[in-house]
Structure formats: structure tokens, C-alpha cells
């Protein structure tokens, strides 16, 4: 019997997450098509699946997240759920349920982060969060500063993304 989760840790400056590798292509180890759009996605595109709690019932679909590790950053689009409630069936490629703190990333994400291929698999990262609001005080962007953090220049990318009409939501760093 496997542990299952219906929620993920609350995102704060200390939230620990694990970056894992997944195939989003047809015939890959990701199982069925992506939850967000019912399609398969090339592993050459920076796409991710989030644990059930962070996936928020699809409300983060097609939002961009910024992942930083190994001194680099990459923007990836949320296209799928890494199901923390079910597994071990055909839809989940007979894999066990995901833990509740997973950012499951395509090969393109790992390549962009410059992680040597023999180190692909699991990488501990920390989630960073803050919120920017639109004129109706609706949250648009979540991002966080960590004092002395070399990755805090990412806020500039968030603002730039807003100006371009992108929805950027979560930041993860190592």
C-alpha cells in the first residue's frame, strides 16, 4: 500500500520540493495525456506536472513557473498533475502516487538547468512565493524573496512576464 495525499505543503520561503524527471510524450513514462489539455507534449519543451495540492484542481494549468538550480533558471509551463491521490494503474503508467511536494519536469527543464544527465532524477529545491495583485486585488503572480538570495533577480523576470501578459506563479530554487 502506498501513501497518498490530497494536499501539498503550504508554499512559503522554506517549502521544500523535489524536482523529478518525467516524459510528457506519447509512449513516455508519464502515462496518459496531460490533464490540462488532454494532449501529449514534447520532452524538448520546458513543461512540468505539479503534485495534486499544488496543481489545485487545474487552476495552475498553463501558468508558467520559474525553476532555479545549478546557478541557472528556466521558465516552464504547468501542463499536468503529478497525481498524489492515485497510481499503480494504466493511466499512471503503473507508477505509485507522487509525493505531495513534486515538480515533475521534462528533459528540457533539466537540460536548461545544466544538470549533468547522469544526475537527472531527483533534485531538492526550495519553493519561493509572494503575491502580486491586479487592479481588482486578484492574485496574479506568486513569488518570494529570500534574504541574500542570488536568484531574487527573478522578480524582474516576473514583472517582465506580467508586461508581456504571461501568468507566472511559482518559483522554485535550489
pLDDT value for 138: 47
pLDDT value for 74: 84
pLDDT value for 11: 67
Domains and CATH numbers, the chain: 15-173 (2.40.40.10)
Parallel, antiparallel, or unpaired for β 72-82 and 47-51?
Answer: parallel
Question: Quick one: CA dihedral 21, 23, 28, 31, positive or negative?
Answer: positive
pLDDT value for 170: 52
pLDDT value for 146: 35
Do the Cβ atoms of 173 and 68 come closer than 8 Å? yes
Do the Cβ atoms of 87 and 97 come closer than 8 Å? yes
Residues of the chain where predicted confidence (pLDDT) is lower than 50: 129-156, 158-169, 174
pTM over 0.95: no
pLDDT value for 105: 93
pLDDT value for 163: 44
pLDDT value for 106: 95
C-alpha cell at 18: 523535489
Amino acid at each position: 500500500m502506498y501513501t497518498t495525499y490530497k494536499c501539498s505543503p503550504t508554499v512559503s520561503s522554506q517549502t521544500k520540493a523535489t524536482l523529478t524527471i518525467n516524459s510528457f510524450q506519447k509512449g513516455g513514462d508519464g502515462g496518459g495525456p496531460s490533464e490540462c489539455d488532454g494532449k501529449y507534449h514534447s520532452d524538448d519543451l520546458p513543461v512540468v506536472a505539479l503534485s495534486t495540492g499544488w496543481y489545485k484542481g487545474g487552476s495552475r494549468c498553463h501558468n508558467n513557473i520559474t525553476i532555479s538550480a545549478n546557478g541557472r533558471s528556466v521558465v516552464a509551463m504547468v501542463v499536468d498533475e503529478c497525481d498524489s491521490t492515485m497510481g499503480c494503474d494504466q493511466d499512471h503508467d503503473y507508477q505509485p502516487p507522487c509525493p505531495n511536494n513534486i515538480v515533475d519536469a521534462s528533459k528540457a527543464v533539466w537540460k536548461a538547468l545544466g544538470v549533468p544527465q547522469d544526475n537527472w532524477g531527483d533534485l531538492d529545491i526550495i519553493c519561493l512565493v509572494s503575491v502580486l495583485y491586479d487592479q481588482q486585488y486578484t492574485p496574479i503572480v506568486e513569488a518570494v524573496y529570500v534574504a541574500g538570495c542570488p536568484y531574487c533577480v527573478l522578480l524582474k523576470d516576473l514583472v517582465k512576464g506580467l508586461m508581456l501578459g504571461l501568468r507566472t506563479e511559482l518559483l522554485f530554487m535550489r
